[in-house]
């Protein structure tokens, strides 16, 4: 049950990151460069094939000029 909740939460975060990226007109490659990851990493994360570390979430928040709380908050 807990794993299912975690996966649902990660899916929401994935969708939010993809939506933010698209709203800014950024490619996966551009976001990857900003967070020091590969385009393949960003693609796999957005499609649910790649988990993400806390430090990468922080890098993504900084790239979008958001706090980590703003990036991952469901409210």
Q: Where are the domains of the chain?
A: 2-72
> What is the assigned CATH class of domain 2-72?
mainly alpha
Reduce the secondary structure of the chain to three states and give it as a string. Answer: CHHHHHHHHHHHHHHHHHHHHHHCCCCHHHHHHHHCCCHHHHHHHHCCCCCCCHHHHHHHHHHCCCCHHHHHCCC
pTM summary value: 0.88
pLDDT, tens digit only, all 75 positions of the chain: 677 888 888 999 999 999 999 999 999 999 999 999 999 999 999 999 998 999 999 999 999 999 999 999 877
């Amino acid at each position: 049950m807990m794993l299912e909740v975690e996966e649902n939460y990660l899916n929401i975060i994935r969708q939010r990151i993809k939506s933010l990226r698209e709203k800014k007109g950024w490619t996966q490659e551009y976001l990857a460069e900003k967070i020091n990851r590969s385009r393949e990493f960003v693609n796999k994360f957005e499609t649910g094939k790649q988990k993400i570390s806390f430090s990468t979430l922080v890098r993504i928040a900084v790239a979008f000029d958001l706090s980590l709380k703003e990036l991952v908050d469901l409210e």
